[in-house]
Structure 1
Amino acid sequence: MKDFVITTDSNCDLLPEYIKEKGVGIIPHYYELNDTVYGEEVNLTPKEFYDSMRNGLMPTTMASNPAVIHSTFLKYINEGTDILHISFSSALSGGYSNVAAGARELCEEYTEAVIIVFDTLNASLGQGLMIMKAVELKEAGKSLTEIVQWLESHRENFCVQFTVDNLFHLQRGGRISKMTAIVGSMINIKPILVINEEGRLVSAGTVRGRKKSLSTIVSNMAEQMGSFIDNPGTICVVHGDAAEDAEHVVKLIKEKVKDAHVIVNVISPSIGAHSGPGAIGICFFGERSVNY
């Protein structure tokens, strides 16, 4: 069986030490702040990035660079390995289209090369959990084709519950109207968001107050886990420079899910530019059949 490598993009929010240990290839997504483009060799720390937003700077984001996609994939082709690229949701970014186009171009030129681009229809550590599962299956001896088949049959089981602290970042991204953001902020409304089966971020309701929003996403998680709650696997908590709230959510999760294994990471800037400081998400294995 020909060897293959698993690659993804920087929106997966996997821990750096995991990426290094498992040899996962990363294609960056980019963000621009104060006329400087970040995302490849130059990056802000999470604290610097989110503080800049707190101070009123508004970053813009860019999907993956076709030249970087080409050079990354060509390196693996020249090493004689096939490629499984596990991508950020095509409904949330042009990154999937860029990678798919790059893969097609290279496979036309290098006819022996195999590059499969898998659309997670997910984001952040919802996407990251899929990569972790793919790595686990690869280490168990599964082929590239077998892994893709497993991911396709379980894609809807990777779930995300999400809330933000500042409605105006959602308004900037076109998720809600300016009037909704103004009125909602005045009365301390917090949205509950999910990624639906089309890979889009959609509303699953609203609650009043930060603490209520955090407890609600945990309660929703426990309900959505359904039959998987007794064998939850890894549960992920992601945050927009809100470590204290993230730890509170971890505590709530462990009260709901016995023996939960929880990992925590910061939301990458190319997602955080839209969700803002204080955003909190939970990514887990469950039943994404709920209609929102």
Structure 2
Amino acid sequence: MKDFVITADSNSDLPEDYIKENKIGIIPHYYDLEGTTYGDEVNLTPKEFYDKMRNGIMPTTMASNPEVIRKTFQNYVDQGLDILHISFSSALSGGCSNVTAGALEICEENPGAKIIVIDTLNASLGEGMSIMKAVRMKEEGKSLEEIATWLEEHKQEFCVRFTVDDLGHLHRGGRISKSTAIIGTMINIKPILYINNDGQLVSLTSVRGRKKSLSTLCNNMLESMGKYKDEEDIICIAHGDALEDALYLEALVKEKLPHKKTIINYVSPSIGAHSGPGAIGLCFMGEKR
């Protein structure tokens, strides 16, 4: 069986040490601040990025670069490796389309090469959990095709619940109206969002107050897990430079599900540009999104 590599994009929000340990090839998504483009060799720390947003500097974002995609894939193909690429939702970015096009070109130019692209229809550590599952299956000796088939059949079971601290960023991204953002801010409304079956970020409900929003994330997760509630798998928490709140949510999760492992990491800048400082995401396996 031909060996293969797992690749993904920077919007998967996986911890850097996990990426290095498992040799996952990362294709960057980009963001621009004050005329400087970041995301490849030049980058800000998450703290620096979110502090700039807090100071009123608003970033713009760009999807993955077709030339970087081609070079990344060609490098692995030249090493005699096939590729399983696990992608950020096609409903939220053009990155999946760019990767699919690049994979097709490389395979046409290199007879015998195989690149399978999985559109997770997911984001952040919801996408990251798909990658972690693929890594475990590869370690168990599963083939590229077996892993790809499993991910396609089960991708709707990777769930994301999300809340933001500042409604202005949702307005800026076209998610809510200006009047809704203003009124909601005045009365301390916090939206609960989720990624639906089509890979879109949509509203689930709204509550009043930060602590209430975090407990609602946990309670909604418990309602959605079904058969996965008793399994000893991972629950992931992503945060926009809000570690204290992420730890508070982790404690709520551990109280209800002490047998689960947890991972906490930053929301990457190319997602955080739209969700803002203080965003919190809860990612888990469930019977329904």
- TM bucket (normalised to shorter chain) is over 0.9
Q: Residue 140 of structure 2 corresponds to which residue in structure 1?
A: 140
Asked if the contact 1:240/1:277 (under 8 Å) is kept, the reply is yes
Query: What's the CA shift for 1:232?
Result: 4.6
Q: Which amino acid aligns with 1:262?
A: T
Q: Which amino acid aligns with 1:167?
A: L
Q: Residue 270 of structure 1 corresponds to which residue in structure 2?
A: 270
Q: Residue 241 of structure 1 corresponds to which residue in structure 2?
A: 241
Q: Residue 23 of structure 1 corresponds to which residue in structure 2?
A: 23
Q: Secondary structure at the match of 1:42?
A: coil
- The whole-number CA distance in structure 2 between the counterparts of 1:154 and 1:70 is 28
Q: Which amino acid aligns with 2:153?
A: S
Q: Which amino acid aligns with 1:79?
A: Q
- The whole-number CA distance in structure 2 between the counterparts of 1:288 and 1:172 is 29
Query: What's the CA shift for 1:258?
Result: 2.7
Q: Secondary structure at the match of 1:2?
A: coil
Asked if the contact 1:124/1:267 (under 8 Å) is kept, the reply is yes
Q: Secondary structure at the match of 1:153?
A: helix
Q: Secondary structure at the match of 1:198?
A: coil
Query: What's the CA shift for 1:114?
Result: 0.3
- The whole-number CA distance in structure 1 between the counterparts of 2:77 and 2:167 is 44
The runs of at least 4 aligned residues of structure 1 exceeding 3 Å deviation read none
Aligned runs of 1:25-104 on 2, under 5 Å? 25-104=25-104
Q: Residue 155 of structure 1 corresponds to which residue in structure 2?
A: 155
- The whole-number CA distance in structure 1 between the counterparts of 2:283 and 2:206 is 19
Q: Residue 118 of structure 2 corresponds to which residue in structure 1?
A: 118
Structure 1 gap segments, 5+ residues each: none
Query: What's the CA shift for 1:111?
Result: 1.6
Asked if the contact 1:196/1:288 (under 8 Å) is kept, the reply is no
Give deviations 1:233-274, integer Å, cap 9, x for gaps.
Answer: 000001000000000000000011131200100000000000
- The whole-number CA distance in structure 1 between the counterparts of 2:245 and 2:2 is 45
Q: Secondary structure at the match of 2:42?
A: coil
Equivalent pairs: percent with the same residue? 67
Q: Residue 280 of structure 1 corresponds to which residue in structure 2?
A: 280
Q: Residue 225 of structure 2 corresponds to which residue in structure 1?
A: 225
Give deviations 1:138-165, integer Å, cap 9, x for gaps.
Answer: 1100000000111011111100011000
Q: Secondary structure at the match of 1:174?
A: coil
- The whole-number CA distance in structure 1 between the counterparts of 2:69 and 2:81 is 16
- The whole-number CA distance in structure 1 between the counterparts of 2:157 and 2:223 is 13
How many pairs align? 289
Query: What's the CA shift for 1:83?
Result: 0.3
Asked if the contact 1:222/1:257 (under 8 Å) is kept, the reply is no
Query: What's the CA shift for 1:55?
Result: 0.5
Q: Residue 251 of structure 2 corresponds to which residue in structure 1?
A: 251
Q: Which amino acid aligns with 2:41?
A: E
Q: Secondary structure at the match of 1:85?
A: strand
- The whole-number CA distance in structure 2 between the counterparts of 1:222 and 1:260 is 12
Query: What's the CA shift for 1:222?
Result: 1.0
- The whole-number CA distance in structure 2 between the counterparts of 1:29 and 1:288 is 28
Asked if the contact 1:162/1:194 (under 8 Å) is kept, the reply is yes
Query: What's the CA shift for 1:98?
Result: 0.4
Structure 2 gap segments, 5+ residues each: none
TM-score by length of 1: 0.98
TM-score by length of 2: 0.99
- The whole-number CA distance in structure 2 between the counterparts of 1:149 and 1:106 is 22
Give deviations 1:165-221, integer Å, cap 9, x for gaps.
Answer: 000100111111111101111111000000000000000010001010000001101
Q: Secondary structure at the match of 1:93?
A: coil
- The whole-number CA distance in structure 1 between the counterparts of 2:115 and 2:174 is 34
Q: Secondary structure at the match of 1:26?
A: strand
- The whole-number CA distance in structure 2 between the counterparts of 1:28 and 1:223 is 34
- The whole-number CA distance in structure 1 between the counterparts of 2:46 and 2:75 is 30
State yes or no: 1:182 paired with 2:182. yes
Query: What's the CA shift for 1:288?
Result: 1.9
Q: CA RMSD in A?
A: 0.7
